[in-house]
Amino acid sequence: MRRATGDPVKVLLHRHRELCERAVDPLEIAAGLEACGVTDRAVARYRHRDVFSLAEELYARVPRDLSCTPDGARRPGGDRATGSEPDADLAPVPGPACAPPHAGGTAWHAGGTACGAGRGSLRRRGGRALAALLPAAVCAAALAVHARATGPLLIAVTAAGAAGLAAALVLAVRSGPLRAPRRAPLTTWAATLLLVLYAAYGDGLLDQLVGTGPVEPPPPATAPLLGLAAAVAPAALCARLFAVRARRRLAVSRALDDFTAGVRPLLLAVVALQLVALTGLLAAARLVPGTRPGALAPAVALGALLFLARLLAVYGFPRAGSIALGGAAAAQALACLSLLAGRLPGCDAAAVPVRRAVESWGAAAVPGAVCTAAALVLLGYACAVLARASAHARR
pLDDT, average across residues 177-182: 88
**CA 87 – CA 85 distance, rounded (Å):** 7
Range from 152-166, 219-233, 376-390 carrying the lowest mean pLDDT: 152-166
Task: Give the tens place of pLDDT for each residue, 103-117.
Answer: 333 333 344 444 444
Using an 8 Å Cβ cutoff, are 90 and 62 in contact?
Answer: yes
Between CA 237 and CA 276 the distance in angstroms is 13
* Total residues belonging to the chain: 395
Spatial distance between the Cα atoms of 13 and 21, rounded to a whole number of angstroms: 10
Q: Is the pLDDT of residue 23 over 80?
A: no
Number of DSSP helices (H) and strands (E) in the chain, helices first: 14, 0
Is the model's pLDDT at 343 over the cut of 90?
no
For 173, the 3-state DSSP assignment is helix
- Cβ neighbours of 133 (radius 10 Å): 17
Inter-axis angle of helices 106-146 and 232-252, nearest 10: 140
Contact 351, 342 (CB under 8 A): yes
The dihedral built from the CA positions of residue 168, 197, 381 and 361, taken in this order, carries a sign that is positive
The CA distance from 215 to 201, in Å, is 14
If pLDDT is split at 50, 70 and 90, which confidence band does 78 have? very low
Question: Considering only CA atoms, which of 111, 21, 9 is closest in space to residue 64?
Answer: 21
Percent of the chain having pLDDT more than 90? 32
Higher pLDDT pick, 165 / 45: 165
For residue 95, pLDDT beyond 50: no
- Helix, strand, coil share (%) of the chain residues, nearest 5: 70, 0, 30
Ordered DSSP codes for 324-338: HHHHHHHHHHHHHHH
Cα first-last separation, the chain: 35
Q: Is the pLDDT of residue 301 over 50?
A: yes
Pick the closest to residue 132 from 281, 354, 322 (CA basis): 281
**pLDDT score of 302 more than 80:** yes
**Between the ranges 33-42, 69-78, 178-187, where is the mean pLDDT highest?**
178-187
Which amino acid would we find at residue 124?
Answer: R
φ, ψ of residue 68 to 5 degrees: the values are -100, 140
pLDDT score for 70: 37
| Rounded (10°) CA dihedral 32, 36, 37, 42 | -70
Task: Determine the Cα–Cα distance for residues 166 and 332; give it in Å rounded to an integer.
Answer: 21
Q: Encode pLDDT of 277-287 as tens digits.
A: 999 999 999 98
Q: What is the mean pLDDT of residues 250-265?
A: 80
